Amino acid sequence: MRRHAETLAQALSRMRKDNPRRPIIFVAHDLGGIILKWALVICHNQSLASKGELRDILVSTHAILFFGTPHSGLDSTSVLEAINRLASAYMETTDILLKDLRPHSSELETIQSLYLAASENINSIFFCAEYATSGIGNREDLNVSYHSATISGDRKATTTILHANHRDLVRFSSKEDDNYKTIHHHLKDYVDSASAAVQEKWITEDSCRSAAKGEVISQEMIVAKPCPPVSRSYVERKEIQSLITQKLLPGSVQDQLRSGFGSMVPASVG
């Protein structure tokens, strides 16, 4: 899977060479979601001091819509074989791929761990199927469980169940389809916010790259933080202030404070 992910990352970089900072929103179904995660991990691992062609992809990625991606693997052997046949129509696959897609495989656990760090500034939504896809003949039904279709620990993720089976997660009868409306709502929200969000990410990335290369950081790259709001509910606590002063400051400084050369006011929460 890593080999396919490297190919994907390099292909995206070539396609975007004329506009590498254009915002990206990925839509990934099934096994494609795992390949995409590996690709973004590869982009994340590129050095800040390099040309950054692959990091460009990661920084420009605003959101990902995952449809039935088996992040934690699949239990069914027949389903794994079916996925392998489907994937082989688009890429070279082997039995190793089947092993890597089983629950608790070292490959999936590695991807999961690395991806959480790489996707810290990426919005994700996990679409899960409510129904199983009926099997053909003696084959088992195809279903990616709710647990496997989500990523535990992704703090910027949203999970939504669609009234469809695994195959029809990305198929809609019309624009009036409830599933279509749900996906359209989330996708439009990401599109509307992508430009400003990615631009802000690039300000931070440019600053980090300059620092990694030993370059002087332009004042335009430094984003000033707003001052905290004035508290109108502050309650002075002289006893706590005195205790903090005694515990944290040496005697000479305490004498200066008592003489009026300075003061220390504790933060108040109420």
Domains assigned to the chain: 2-212 (3.40.50), 231-270 (no CATH)
The sheet that has 157-162: what strands, in order across it? Answer: 24-29, 61-67, 123-129, 157-162
**Mean of pLDDT values over 135-158:** 67
Distance CA 223, CA 183 (A): 34
Question: Is the model more confident about 215 or about 270?
Answer: 215
Amino acid 144: pLDDT: 75
Looking at residues 208-230, what average pLDDT do you find? 70
**Which residue shows structure tokens 């996925």?**
83
What's the mean pLDDT when you consider all of the chain?
A: 79
Neighbours of 209 (CB within 10 A): 20
Q: What is the CA radius of gyration of the chain?
A: 26
Q: What confidence score (pLDDT) does residue 98 get?
A: 61
pLDDT: which is higher, 16 or 260: 16
Contact 194, 25 (CB under 8 A): yes
> What pLDDT, on a 0 to 100 scale, did the predictor assign at position 138?
45
pTM of the complete model:
0.70
Q: What percent of the chain clears pLDDT 70, i.e. is strictly above it?
A: 70
DSSP H helical ranges for the chain: 2-15, 31-44, 53-60, 77-88, 95-100, 106-118, 178-212, 238-248, 251-258
- Residue 94's pLDDT band, with cuts at 50, 70 and 90, is low
Q: How far is CA 236 from CA 215, 245, 267, 269, in A?
A: 46, 15, 9, 11
Q: Which amino acid is at 43?
A: C
Tokens representing 145 are 């469980």
Q: Higher confidence at residue 247 or residue 15?
A: 15
What pLDDT digit, counting tens, does each position of 32-52 carry?
A: 899 999 999 999 999 998 888
**CA-CA distance, 59 to 66, in Å (whole number)?**
19
Higher pLDDT, 153 or 184: 184
